[in-house]
Structure 1
Amino acid sequence: MAKTAEILEIPATITERGQTTVPSAIRKMLALGKRDQVVFRGLADGTVVIAKKLEREDEADPVIGTFLKFLARDMTNAPARIRPVPKSLVARGKSLVKGIKVDLDAALPDDEG
């Protein structure tokens, strides 16, 4: 049976300057240290998620970064357009990799060009 995620809810006060302190339990949960950065993600239903900002390789690539920002903006502005992947496409993908064994912990071979 699936384990239900427990939600930790801690109130915080917004100062006159629009600032707040990230509660210590949340800092511990996110493994935040001094000078670490967080990101706030606002969802269409009014929920806001806070997460530790991680350095990602794709942020260095302006094309991928721009595309991911476009996707995020489009999903926020038009969530009704999000559709599940058709079962037929999932089945086709599974058939293409049937019998192929992959070790996700193995080092990738060097590209030879």
Structure 2
Amino acid sequence: MAKAAEILEIPATITERGQTTVPAAIRKMLALGKRDHVVFRGMADGTVMIAKKNAEAEGADPVIGKFLAFLAGDMAAEPRRIRPVSPDLVARGAALVTGVDVDLDDALPDDEA
């Protein structure tokens, strides 16, 4: 007779901003690291599943994938056409983001329904 699957149940609190922390045991189980993405799947019976998001399986943009494959093929076929980015272009890009502070760990603004 097969053993019933164990269910790991860990309580968590939802903050005033609608956020929660994924418990360490669940992060370990799903092999989640910083900046990884998860998906929540709500079931009709009120249960929710959380899973590690696989970008390719979860609707990655097929145009971007094809474009990157095209670039990789072009670079392999014509490596002499590859040029370094000029210092001027790097400086122009840096100027565009001067004074822009982004903290990826900051809380997100409330969702508007």
> Could you tell me the TM-score, scaled by structure 1's length?
0.50
Residues 3, 20 of structure 1: alpha-carbon distance in 2 compared, 3 angstrom cutoff: same
Cα distance in 2 for residues equivalent to 1:24 and 1:42: 22
Counterpart code for 1:56: E
Which has the bigger relative contact order, CA under 8 A and spacing at least 6?
2
Name structure 1 gaps, 5 residues minimum.
63-113
Cα distance in 2 for residues equivalent to 1:29 and 1:45: 24
Provide the residue aligned with 1:31 in structure 2: 31
Name structure 2 gaps, 5 residues minimum.
64-113
Provide the residue aligned with 1:16 in structure 2: 16
Provide the residue aligned with 2:50 in structure 1: 50
Percent identity of the aligned residues?
Answer: 77
Residues 55, 45 of structure 1: alpha-carbon distance in 2 compared, 3 angstrom cutoff: same
Cα distance in 1 for residues equivalent to 2:43 and 2:2: 24
Cα distance in 2 for residues equivalent to 1:52 and 1:3: 25
2:41 partner SS:
strand
Q: What is the CA-CA distance between 1:3 and the residue it aligns to? A: 2.1
Residues 45, 57 of structure 1: alpha-carbon distance in 2 compared, 3 angstrom cutoff: closer
Counterpart code for 1:30: L
Residues 58, 50 of structure 1: alpha-carbon distance in 2 compared, 3 angstrom cutoff: closer
Residues 42, 6 of structure 1: alpha-carbon distance in 2 compared, 3 angstrom cutoff: same
Provide the residue aligned with 2:6 in structure 1: 6
The alignment yields a C-alpha RMSD, in angstroms, of 1.8
Cα distance in 2 for residues equivalent to 1:22 and 1:58: 20
Q: Rg larger in 1 or in 2? A: 2
Q: What is the CA-CA distance between 1:55 and the residue it aligns to? A: 2.0
| CA distances 1:33-55 after superposition (whole Å, capped 9, x unpaired) | 00000000000110100000012
Cα distance in 2 for residues equivalent to 1:7 and 1:39: 19
1:40 partner SS:
strand
> Could you tell me the TM-score, scaled by structure 2's length?
0.50
Q: What is the number of equivalent residue pairs in this alignment?
A: 62
Provide the residue aligned with 2:41 in structure 1: 41
